[in-house]
Chain A
Amino acid sequence: MTAAGADAGEHAVIAGAAGAAGAPLPEQSAGRGPAGSGPVLDVRGLSIDFPVRGGQVVHAVKDLSFSVPAGAALGIVGQSGSGKSATALALLGLHRNTSARVSGQVWLNGVDLVAASDAEVRGLRASQIAMVFQDPLTALDPFHTIGDQIAEVYRVHTKASRAQARARAIEVLDHVRIPEAARRARSHPHEFSGGMRQRALIAMALACRPKVLVADEPTTALDVTVQAQILDLLDEVRAETGMALVLISHDLGVVAGTADEVLVMNEGEAVERGPAERVLLEPQDPYTQGLLAAMPRLDAPLPGRAGQAGAEPEVLVRVEDLAKHFRRGGSLLGRAEPFRAVDGVSLELRAGETLGLVGESGSGKTTLARMLVRLLTPTSGTVVFAGNPISTLSERELRPLRRDLQMVFQDPLSSLNPRRSVGETIADPLRIAGTSSDAEIRATVRELMAKVGLDPETYDRFPHEFSGGMRQRVGIARALAPRPKLLICDEPVASLDVSTQAVILELLKEVQREYGLTVVFVAHDLAVVRQVADRVAVMRFGQIVELADAATLFDAPQHEYTRTLLDAVPVVDPVAAREKREKRRLALAAG
């Protein structure tokens, strides 16, 4: 691990920001500014307005104030629409020359970014304050190599020569633990994996040794294990360089392990602010309390599952050695190796149970789920549903069985036809079946709508008139209309806000009870799965690595990958979060 130049010497006395929850742990004291020195970033009365069509104005941020001491970490938490992203952009003056109206003061290094000239602000960017964006793939220029982009930034802010800039680029890439930094500096962004790309972006941010690093949802696009690595990296880098960190996220867990102080935003305003331990463990504000209550937690007690009384429940679905291979290009000259999305999966689904299917991106969970309802045809292996080999039936033979196999999709936006009223969308399976009259169908739909919590009077409204959570209810109603036996939920709450998530999960549980459904719940979020599943299957590289009932899997995982996954899941308790980080660090060092 190379020290980042001369900045490594900022090991001074603890600043007062540790808060009242006991003595701070030793590793926190590194990198803090000396007590009494002014904050490195001071925001006063920041307000941001966006004009929209029709002459109206959206008040994205209202009179926000906070300050960040040198070397400290501030976590800003908020749901969509809270104004946190607008705030992040304002910290770098990125609203200039856009239609946004910014007022207030943002003091950085003795300069007010709101009032300063364009040239001044440009000079401060990257050299005093740098930003790490959410999606590293689009944030980097695809036409230039990583090394060139970092070197360019370095040369703009220093008088370095080309050679010096290139050397610096390799240096920071190495600092963020990208192996073979010198070689990889000559690669293009799309040649990196997601996690590596984010590291590269962080490297670019570090190049000019800024005093503040702003990370706007830096891990949202990443898998949970990679997310943990990136958060660990940010923490490490902060400790080494004495840089201040502003970490912005919608996920309280992400912020918990890294922030000293937490600021909670709602609708443009700060609703709660204080030391991390206090805000996250003993929140004062009802909004924060609501947020924490709605979050699925790994450390919460397991929900009591209504067990099947007595006899062994019957097997509803039997999957044997199921596989799905996708052909990759290159047809004329030589055949490329096919991509094995699902590579030999066998399992049994018992009637009435909820099976959680977890895995990171590329694990094959969605492909498997789709094969269970025959949206995809398997390459080999069989799926037997209630005695019927649905994996091999023809479309026509399959049609009468279709009503038993239904799915709730992830994205409420693309799962509903925008041109059809919600009532008609729910009615569609009934109309296709053609067995009921129009009046009967309408009545059934209205009943369903009421059951999922929608106002039946909104039958004729269109999807865009509803919020994400409401749209998801429509999707659930549609899946229930044909009275299925098997319901696959493919990431049904991943696109929703935390508060809405909890509500929809409750709805799903209720619906399962009432309709006696067998559910397969696909998700990448282990905490969510823990709340709903009886048994859990963990997938990786197209195979199931562990399948156990929920209690066993979460408390005593057998497979190493499961353990790694569980170790990576963010927790809201800051103390527990730091313990996990330490555990991961040791595991990494042990190699």
Chain B
Amino acid sequence: MIGYVVRRLVGAVIVLLVLSAVVYGLFYAGPSNPALLACGKGCTPDHLAEVKSAMGLDKSLGDQYLSFLHGIFFGHDYSSGPSVRSCPAPCLGYSFETDQSVTSILTSALPVSASLALGALVLSLLLGVGSGLVTVLSGRRWLDRGLNAVVLLGYSTPVFLVALVLLIVFCSDLKWLPFPNYVPLTQNPGQWAQNLLLPWIALALIGSASYARMTRAQMLETLSEDHVRTARAYGLSERRVITGHVLRGALTPLVTMAAIDLAAIMTSAVLTESMFGLPGIGHALVDAVHGGDLPVIVGVTVAAGSLYILANALADILYAAIDPRVELA
């Protein structure tokens, strides 16, 4: 088992390195002019030169990438003439436009995305797995068809549409909730939850569709397996059969899916953050794109990618730990 964990993590790190290299190369070697973009509006040739040397763009691409990596572990100082902007480890780049390190942008954005992701995931699981289980265990056809219809709706609705509808209905028309405005958990838990309620619901309404369908499919498959027949053949009551022998096998794959989903929401709930004005990772990226802030784009993409890759690796490890049948090849 330890061997598998190590192998999987090492594999993840390798993929991470390649990812960062690809991202870095793509953006900095790409057709756009990084210095010009970073310099922003009202850029004078002198300022441009300053930015260029501060960003180290006068060096070769390979050197740039290596110093980028170096910065992640040891920090980097961007000096151009008298002014020095320090960027302590882990340094993922420096945003000249907003005059802060990418890491500090991420540090303030991460809790927001994490709050959003956790709540949405919990709600999705409750709603999705719950409805899937209820449908299968009740055995009623109309429930099954109803669930299928709802799932289809969930698949075909873009999240920003749902968000829009929720905002219109609850904030604008019914005025049950104020327009969301993020409040950190540490500041005021009650308001934190209240402001995140609508984004959670928006994401959960759509996300639960996948879980509901998967739960249903897994349950049906497990129920038809031989060992369930054995349990019945040995006189176990249906309830015991389900709780003791079906649920575990059916729901285990969902655990890993949830782990990956957590990372996915954190890194990709851009639209939701945008609709609800949540200053999370996705939002930071969109701002950077609109502003042409390349270091932020690169840094955030690499950070988010890393998160996702690690989550995948952890999910695999988790699955191997839970399911005794998995061959740790």
Contacts and interface: CB of A to CB of B under 8 A. Distances in A.
Interface of A: 92, 94, 122-127, 130-131, 133, 135, 138-144, 152-153, 156-157, 188, 190, 204, 328-334
A198 to B, nearest CB: 13
Interface in B281-329: 323-325, 327-329
B236 A153 contact: yes
Contact of B237 (A122, A133, A188, A204): A122
B145 interface: no
Interface in B1-17: 3, 6-7, 10
Contacts of B240: 156
Contacts of B6: 332-333
Contact of A126 (B3, B226, B235, B327): B235
Given A124-B235, A127-B235, A133-B230, A143 B329 contact: no
A156 B236 contact: yes
A333 B231 contact: no
B328 to A, nearest CB: 7
25 contacts: A94-B233, A126-B234, A126-B235, A130-B234, A133-B229, A135-B226, A138-B225, A138-B227, A139-B226, A139-B227, A139-B229, A140-B230, A141-B231, A141-B249, A142-B249, A143-B324, A144-B244, A153-B235, A190-B325, A328-B329, A329-B328, A329-B329, A330-B3, A331-B7, A332-B7
A130 B234 CA distance: 7
A109 to B, nearest CB: 14
B236 to A, nearest CB: 6
Which of B227, B237, B248 counts the most A-chain CB atoms under 10 A from its CB? B227
B70 interface: no
Contacts of A138: 225-227
Given A123-B235, A125-B234, A333-B7, A142 B229 contact: no
B5 to A, nearest CB: 11
B39 to A, nearest CB: 45
Nearest to B7: A332
Q: Give chain B's interface residue range (CB within 8 Å of chain A).
A: 20 to 34
Nearest to B231: A141
B196 to A, nearest CB: 36
Contacts of B325: 142, 190
Contacts of A332: 6-7, 10
A143 B237 CA distance: 19
A130 to B, nearest CB: 7
Contact of B229 (A94, A156, A188, A331): A94
B313 to A, nearest CB: 14
B327 A152 contact: no
A330 B5 CA distance: 12
A334 B3 CA distance: 9
Nearest to A205: B234
Contacts of A331: 7
A330 B8 CA distance: 11
Contact of A141 (B235, B245, B323, B329): B245
Contacts of A139: 226-227, 229-230
B227 A142 contact: yes
Given A143-B248, A190-B324, A332-B10, A133 B235 contact: no
Contacts of B327: 329
Contact of A122 (B230, B235, B323): B235
A552 B324 CA distance: 47
A332 B9 CA distance: 11
B232 interface: yes
Interface of A is mostly: loop
A154 B83 CA distance: 79
B235 A157 contact: yes
A143 B249 contact: yes
Contacts of B323: 142-143
A216 to B, nearest CB: 10
Contacts of A143: 245, 248-249, 323-324
A156 B328 contact: no
A142 B228 CA distance: 11
A117 B314 CA distance: 48
B79 to A, nearest CB: 41
Contacts of A130: 233-234
Contacts of B229: 94, 133, 139
Contacts of A153: 234-236
B233 A92 contact: yes
A127 to B, nearest CB: 7
A308 to B, nearest CB: 49
Which of A130, A135, A138, A141 counts the most B-chain CB atoms under 10 A from its CB? A141
A358 B175 CA distance: 81
Contact of A94 (B225, B232, B244): B232
A330 B3 CA distance: 8
Contacts of B232: 94, 125
Nearest to B230: A139
A430 to B, nearest CB: 41
A143 B324 CA distance: 6
B251 to A, nearest CB: 11
Interface string B192-209: 000000000000000000
A328 B327 CA distance: 11
A204 B328 CA distance: 29
Given A142-B325, A156-B235, 4 more contacts: A124-B235, A126-B233, A143-B323, A330-B329
A124 B232 CA distance: 12
A523 B226 CA distance: 28
Contacts of B237: 122, 156
Nearest to B249: A143
Contacts of A334: 3
Nearest to A330: B3
A190 B326 CA distance: 10
Nearest to A154: B234
Interface string B85-105: 000000000000000000000
B235 to A, nearest CB: 4
A88 to B, nearest CB: 10
Contacts of A123: 235
Given A156-B240, A329-B327, A333-B7, A141 B233 contact: no
Nearest to B235: A125
Contacts of A328: 329
A300 B149 CA distance: 65
A328 B37 CA distance: 52
Nearest to B229: A94
Nearest to A333: B3
Contacts of B10: 332
Interface in B233-257: 233-237, 240, 244-245, 248-249
